[in-house]
Structure formats: structure tokens, C-alpha cells
Structure 1
Amino acid sequence: METKALLKSFISTVISAFGVSMDDIRSKCRKAELCDIRMILIYEMRQGGYTYARIGEVLHRDYSTIMWNFNNYEARFLYDENFKKKVLVVKKLKDNEMNILLNLDNSKLLVLNNSMLALDTINLQSQPRQLKSSISICTELRTELLQRAIKRRQKDKAFTLKMSYYKADALWQFLTEYEIYFPDDFGSYEKNAVLIMKNELHKQLL
């Protein structure tokens, strides 16, 4: 059984990996993403020795809600692929594999930054609901990548970019769904670099 201190640290790691806060988890918001994370946390906390009552206190939910989530966890895992994907992410976190690694050099970093110019042309409000979050996350990630490019402009060595799961997943979705918006002057090298990055991310996100 996990110690309460370790479990508390693990809870913080999980919510950070999915790009949410404890306030989000405790809120009354019923968005599917938050409901899934709550259910996973309830299961993990119960497995870690928390009582239903204590879990309710931590997550600001009543006893019956906590019990319902715990009892329905296994069925969701078996029949809901999106939920299962989140559970597997949490398993990786428990195995200390919380970072997704993307191998880059200056040339690939330039391609990545240039592909993100497409963010300036995408109308966020017109996008499907499931992609709006990815676009917003990639907009933040773009700033990080530009800063990395500035720092590395005098260097020419390969390096590894570490990203939390939710950022890596958003980047993969962007590279997959929005290639049509990439610069017209992208040639075979750029297209191949994007393909390599997509494949590298996809293997780790599965």
C-alpha cells in the first residue's frame, strides 16, 4: 500500500500531466476530460488506502459519487478506449515515465517552429471541440520552442526535448490534423521531418 505522502505527490503529478489543477478537479465542471481524471484519481486513491469518505473530502464530492466512480472504473476501462488511454498514461506516470521525449536538432526545430506559423491562420472558434484544447496548448508550446531556438542558434548538436504527456499529445494532434496549413515552401526534407516527429510522438503516446 502506498504511503499517503507518496500518493499526494502522485496526485499532483497526474493533474499536472493532464494540464489541469486541483481546483479544476474539485470544481463542479462536468467536462468529460475532468470527469475521467476524477474517476482515475478516485480509483488510485482507493487503491492507495484512502477511505471513500476521505476521498470525498479531498475531491469535494459526496460519498455516493466517490463510490459510483470507483465501482464503474473497471467497466469504463474495458469499453471506453479514450478512458483506457488516460489510464495507461497514469500507469506510465506511476512507472516514472512521465515525460515524452522528442529527438531534435536545429534543423528539425526550425521545421517545427515554421509549422507552428499555421497557428496564426487557424480560427480557434471554428475548430472541432476536441481540437480546440490542442491548439491552445500548442500556442503556449510555440513560445517555449521559439525560446529554445534562440538559445540554440549558436549550437549544432542534436538534443532531446522533454514534454509532459498533454503537451506531447497536443503537438501530435497539431502535426497530424493541420498539415494542410503548413507553409507552401515545405519541401521533401520538411515533410519527412514532420513525419519522423509524428511517428516518434505517436509511439510514446500509445
Structure 2
Amino acid sequence: MDTDFDDLIEIIFNVFGITDTQIFSKNRKSEICDVRKILAFELKNKGMGFQEIGMILKLHHTTVIHHVEKYKDRLKFDKTFKSKVFEFNKWKELFKRDMKKTLTLDNSKLLVLNNAMVALDAFNLQDIPKKSRALISICKEVRTDLLKKAVDKREKDKEFVLKLPYHKAEAIHDFLKGYEIYFPDDFGSYEANAILQITNELHRQLL
């Protein structure tokens, strides 16, 4: 997916608290369907065809056409939907500022971070309080990216920069802060210091 789409997902999360995992799911809840309509319309405005949008959103192109047409109708007659679009557009303007955050990792820090995030494997989203599900879901997505990085970088002793949208950087920061509180004895002094450095690096950028 291109940067433009990632940015739209970032805005969607900040406005509605809905992740890309939820958008790509079969969930038919009205708030998620409304987000799909907004995304379909935004991508069409970028000059994409219905087939291409369907591939990105994992929808049949006829469903994309339906979303775009419904977007226009709802914008005219539905005050609630109109307010959602207003909030989305307001955030879109704010997002023109650079909200990408960076995390610089070497192999050692990457290993420590991966080891800390092993705890995510034990979480079943259905058993987690609703307000925490988005954070855990986002952290699991980032962990998948980190595992790929670990495979790619295992033979190389060079630092690399992991670029994160604001909400993903914030989720990792909050997870590590909680980890530091609830599992203080899981690591030795080096690992604990590495976690502290990563957390502080993210905290400075999130201020």
C-alpha cells in the first residue's frame, strides 16, 4: 500500500479509533461501513479506478461503486455522516504536517523489543476490555513488521530506522510503559535499559 493510503488510515484511526484490520474485516457495523465509504471516496478523488480501490480495500469493485454513491447521498441528507466527514477533513488538514515517527534500532535493541512483545501472543482480543483492543491489535501488527525486520537484518550489524505512523508509535510507547510496570523483572539490566531508551525515544517524538 502506498504512503497516501497509510496516511488515510492514520487519520481514520485518530478520528474514529478504527484500525486497518477492522476496515479489511467482514465487519458490517455502521461505523466501520461509514469509514469504508469515506476511504473509497477519498481514493476515487485521488484518481484511482474502482477496480484498483477494490483491490486496496479488499472489496468487489461493485461494492466500491456503491460506497462512493452512498457517500454522496449521505453527505447531502445525513447530518451524522456529514459531521464524520467534517472531522475527517479537519484531521486531513492537520495531517499535512509530518506525523511520521522514527525508531532507530540495532540488532540488539530489535531483539529486546521483539522479546518484550512476545507477551502479545498470549492475548486473545475477545478477552481484552474493549478500550484496550485497539492498542493490542496495533501492537500485534507492529510486531509482525518487527519480526520481518529481524529476519532481514539478522546477518547485518547496522542500525536501521523504523518509520511509524503516530498511532502505532503511541501504541508501542504505551505498551512498553505498561510492560515496564507489570513485568519489571523479565529482563536484565541491559534489556531494561534498552526498553527505557526506546520508550524515551518515542516519548520525545510524541510530545
State TM-score, norm by structure 1.
Answer: 0.60
**In 2, Cα distance between equivalents of 1:180 and 1:186:** 12
C-alpha spacing 1:16/1:58, structure 2 compared with 1 (3 Å): farther
1:103 alignment partner, SS class:
strand
Task: Indicate if the aligned counterparts of 2:74 and 2:81 stay in contact, CA closer than 8 A.
Answer: no
Alpha-carbon shift at residue 29 of structure 1 (Å): 1.7
Equivalent residue pairs, number: 165
What letter matches 1:93 in structure 2? Answer: F
Alpha-carbon shift at residue 69 of structure 1 (Å): 3.0
Instruction: State yes or no: 1:151 paired with 2:152.
Output: yes
Q: What aligned pairs does 1:148-187 form with structure 2 within 5 A after superposition?
A: 148-180=149-181, 182=183, 184-187=185-188
- Which stretches in structure 1 are left out of the alignment for 5+ residues? 1-8, 39-55, 74-86
What letter matches 2:178 in structure 1? Answer: E
**In 2, Cα distance between equivalents of 1:126 and 1:155:** 39
What letter matches 2:8 in structure 1? Answer: I
C-alpha spacing 1:151/1:28, structure 2 compared with 1 (3 Å): same
Task: Indicate if the aligned counterparts of 1:114 and 1:183 stay in contact, CA closer than 8 A.
Answer: no
Q: What aligned pairs does 1:41-190 form with structure 2 within 5 A after superposition?
A: 57-58=71-72, 60-63=74-77, 65=79, 69=83, 90=92, 93-95=95-97, 97-180=98-181, 182=183, 184-190=185-191
**In 2, Cα distance between equivalents of 1:136 and 1:190:** 24
What letter matches 1:161 in structure 2? Answer: L
RMSD: 4.0
**In 2, Cα distance between equivalents of 1:58 and 1:189:** 56
C-alpha spacing 1:91/1:186, structure 2 compared with 1 (3 Å): farther
1:94 alignment partner, SS class:
coil
Alpha-carbon shift at residue 111 of structure 1 (Å): 0.6
1:162 alignment partner, SS class:
strand
Task: Indicate if the aligned counterparts of 2:100 and 2:166 stay in contact, CA closer than 8 A.
Answer: yes
Task: Indicate if the aligned counterparts of 1:102 and 1:197 stay in contact, CA closer than 8 A.
Answer: yes
- Which stretches in structure 2 are left out of the alignment for 5+ residues? 14-18, 39-69
**In 1, Cα distance between equivalents of 2:124 and 2:81:** 41
Task: Indicate if the aligned counterparts of 2:75 and 2:81 stay in contact, CA closer than 8 A.
Answer: no
**In 1, Cα distance between equivalents of 2:166 and 2:160:** 19
Alpha-carbon shift at residue 176 of structure 1 (Å): 1.8
**In 2, Cα distance between equivalents of 1:94 and 1:120:** 35
Alpha-carbon shift at residue 13 of structure 1 (Å): 5.3
Task: Indicate if the aligned counterparts of 1:118 and 1:181 stay in contact, CA closer than 8 A.
Answer: no
State TM-score, norm by structure 2.
Answer: 0.60
2:30 alignment partner, SS class:
coil
Alpha-carbon shift at residue 61 of structure 1 (Å): 3.6
1:78 equivalent in structure 2: none
**In 1, Cα distance between equivalents of 2:194 and 2:148:** 20
1:53 equivalent in structure 2: none
Task: Indicate if the aligned counterparts of 1:103 and 1:161 stay in contact, CA closer than 8 A.
Answer: yes
**In 1, Cα distance between equivalents of 2:184 and 2:100:** 29
Deviation sequence 1:137-188 (CA, Å, 0-9, x none): 2112212111101111111122211112222222112112233565844012
C-alpha spacing 1:66/1:121, structure 2 compared with 1 (3 Å): closer
C-alpha spacing 1:57/1:67, structure 2 compared with 1 (3 Å): closer
Task: Indicate if the aligned counterparts of 2:103 and 2:163 stay in contact, CA closer than 8 A.
Answer: yes
1:101 alignment partner, SS class:
strand
2:9 equivalent in structure 1: 16
**In 2, Cα distance between equivalents of 1:132 and 1:62:** 34
